[in-house]
Structure 1
């Protein structure tokens, strides 16, 4: 069915985005050193991430990375961005579990056939919650990415910041925007493919089938049951 295909495609996109979020979180190139000013001579390029910083020598290509010595000594903004990135990853794990349980092609809660409509409703509800959590994870992950980008641009154009301390947008920020969008689209597709099941016609096993049959019977009994014709005498009497 088309809805099952939407669910599968949504889960694949969301999982790909979630893996990208994990890679971006661990990447050290959120901020890179900026070469501004004719008098500025930088022998080593510096990369900074949420967890470590790296020094890159352009001539030799040698890279030396080091984790931050103390998390408590970091600025409050960096600590908050760490927490938000980890929260987005945890939401993605929970969303993946619920989405897999609620997919129509899985049998975790039963076969989900036409006979057991209660199982289908439960699976559809779980899948919709999983899609919503994937979307929430994307939004939460966008907060530290956009926050870092704003801080980098603000400091770059601030004349009070010394040129050696200025930074530029690192490749991880652009990748972060991409994987967040991918996760958001995946969550939307999961929700689109997890519409609540509707009952069939008469005898469909759901509430819609029962109410439809009762309404059809009350309306007139159908074309196959014509009303009996009155006797000839009563018919003539009706015309008098």
Structure 2
């Protein structure tokens, strides 16, 4: 019962992390305009995301434009696209596979070992999805911070961390916790099962006897067993006396009949 509750908690955490990953992938708020120094134009905000860049004017109206070319994007955004898509694919497959291996589902019946293996595979896939989310979010955040303190850039060119990055970090944390719950608890239950498999209970009448010295073997006299004699089969006896049995029919006269005729 406890394992089923923990599996459901891991499933819910994985689902929340997957939703956060999808939101972070689609949001354009990865890079936000920094209003510092001489940049006093505060009624216009620029957002840069993985798929588009947007402008908001006076918190009323937002206009977005999809990127015309993938190769024109920075390297961090190009890598972030592929990694975030891989994270969504791995997280979705891990979530579906975990539904098969839950104790409260009947997809695999009367086979706890198979369910444990399925949940381990799902947990590994969810952890891989967490890594795929964490790499692009952290890489983009590192680039933004490095450019912010670059003295060669103008104040209008500096950017700040957007909301999508924070959502990505939180989603990676949820995915990591959910995947670890799938993996750790099933590994622990597998160890408990293996340890219980080799346990045995001693009977109540069990008594320990001291070791006895080995006795030398005494030579035993040889006894000859009588062997049965083979029974001889009676052989036919040869006789010199002529036989009087002429009961067979033949087309040719025999020698004896010829002698008798003479």
Indicate the TM-score class for this superposition, using the shorter chain for normalisation: 0.7 to 0.9
Runs of 4+ more than 4 Å apart? none
Gaps of 5+ in 1: 113-118, 202-206, 217-221, 227-240
2:100 maps to 101
Over alpha carbons, which structure has the higher Rg? 2
1:21 maps to 21
Q: Of residues 130, 139, 160 in structure 2, which corresponds to 1:138?
A: 130
2:6 maps to 6
The 8 Å contact of residues 39 and 156 in structure 2, kept in 1 or not, is answered as no
**How big is each residue's C-alpha offset from its partner over 1:142-191, in whole Å with a ceiling of 9 and x where there is no partner?**
11100111111111110111211110011111111111101111111222
**What is the rounded CA distance, in whole Å, between the counterparts of 1:10 and 1:48 in structure 2?**
33
Alpha-carbon deviation of 1:225?
Answer: 7.9
**What is the rounded CA distance, in whole Å, between the counterparts of 2:204 and 2:61 in structure 1?**
87
Q: Larger relative contact order (C-alpha < 8 A, sep ≥ 6)?
A: 1
Residue 160 in 1 paired to residue 152 in 2?
Answer: yes
The 8 Å contact of residues 32 and 170 in structure 1, kept in 2 or not, is answered as yes
The 8 Å contact of residues 52 and 67 in structure 2, kept in 1 or not, is answered as yes
Spell out the pairing of 1:210-225 with structure 2 (5 A cutoff).
212=200, 216=202, 222-224=203-205
The CA RMSD measured in Å over matched residues stands at: 2.2
SS at match of 1:32: strand
SS at match of 2:65: strand
Give the TM-score, by structure 2 length: 0.72
**What is the rounded CA distance, in whole Å, between the counterparts of 1:193 and 1:89 in structure 2?**
24
Aligned residue-pair number? 205
